[in-house]
Amino acid sequence: MAPEGPLTLCPLFSSFPGSTSHSLRYFYTAVSEPGQGLPQFIDVGYVDDQQIIQYDSDTKEYLPRVPWMRKAEKEDPQYWHKQTQIAQGNQLAFRVSLQNLQNRYNQSRGIHTYQLMYGCELSSDGRKGGHHQYSYDGRDFIAFDKETLTWTAADTGAQVTKRKWDPDLAWNQGRKAYLEEICIEWLQRYLEYGNETLLRTEAPVVKVTRKADYDGLETLVCQVHGFYPQEIEANWVKDGKVWQEGTLRGLVAPNSDGTYYLLLSVQIDPEERERFRCRVEHDSLEKPLDVAWEKEPAASEPKTHTGRGEGTRAHSLALRTSEILHKQKTWTFCVIAKIGLDRHFKSEKEGVSRKNRTYGNPTQDASS
């Protein structure tokens, strides 16, 4: 069966509730029938939402995607050459694995994909997270459980791979060490490289608008935009208390300038309008920002509220359709460009020091 819908390749980001967090994530995609600008193999890597490097089977070369990644070659002049060699090895391994899976599922024709998503996350309060999982044709295939050092198969075909990978204790221990230690070390290093960009804060600009509904009610819309980092708390409050009834919330989404925006609405009785506020909490704010709807004077700039002080900022905002990703049902990736990044793990017994080691091949052949 071919993948449902177009192939997409976008990072999926999560965060720890109530805490600022940073993530380091990698995505591999192999395609059985490349074409129309889509390479046979793509590596993708992100720190938070920032693409930092790229590799694909057309260019066959690792290149930095942000200027501050050039700092890596100051520590190791052979850094880019080594990573290119490793990526080329992964490209070959993924091609073999994809062919094996097509044979296993008796799917010799059509477009098929084999994908890997792995990485780690570190919150400001020290909590750590990590994941390492594969998909085939856009659906979950197999995922690593770092607590039990075993693999969770999504279907009977993946059970074949599980039976092969579960007994490989050394490799599974290496995966756990990578997710809990090495990945975190690289994340912290990259945060140092790009601290001016990744560790900055920009306060949100908040505006409340309203529109009349057909049933005599009205909808208040809270537009929160221009903030960084991504983590933010925004709620409707009525008489100072959080109000959930009749509310709708969009997903936090990126602006073209590297900041984020969020829209949330609430349906109310117009007579109770003065009792509602949009409350916003963000790392850039010393205290929560409560914003009410205010009638705009004729022929004037719309009034906005910001943690930087009163002011205006020209932004064109539109409600965008947010696709909810159900990880257990489908994988969705956005092909924005030919992008990729890879980091690899090698164990101490291979003679690589913690200071200088890079990530060894995170993949194994999915064949039986």
Domains of the chain by start residue, with CATH: 21-197+323-350 (3.30.500.10), 205-306 (2.60.40.10)
Q: Which residues pair with 140 in a beta bridge?
A: 135
Are 121 and 14 in contact by the 8 Å Cβ rule? The answer is yes
Consecutive 10-residue averages of pLDDT for the chain (368 residues): 40 55 95 89 93 94 94 94 96 97 94 97 92 97 98 97 98 98 97 94 97 93 96 97 96 92 97 97 96 77 53 30 32 33 29 36 59
User: Tell me, what's the pLDDT at 208?
Assistant: 98
Whose tokens are 């913690």? That residue is 354
Residues in the chain: 368
Q: Which residues pair with 306 in a beta bridge?
A: 205
**Is cis: bond before 229, omega within 30 of 0?**
yes
The torsion region of residue 101 among left (phi > 0), alpha (psi -120 to 50) and beta comes to: alpha
Q: Alpha-carbon distance 313 to 97, whole Å?
A: 51
User: Tell me, what's the pLDDT at 23?
Assistant: 96
User: Tell me, what's the pLDDT at 63?
Assistant: 87
The two three-digit tokens of residue 239, written as one number: 């008489």
Q: Where are the beta strands (DSSP E) in the chain?
A: 21-31, 41-47, 50-56, 63-64, 113-123, 128-136, 139-145, 150-153, 205-212, 218-227, 233-238, 241-242, 247-249, 253-254, 260-268, 276-281, 289-291, 305-306
User: Tell me, what's the pLDDT at 360?
Assistant: 44
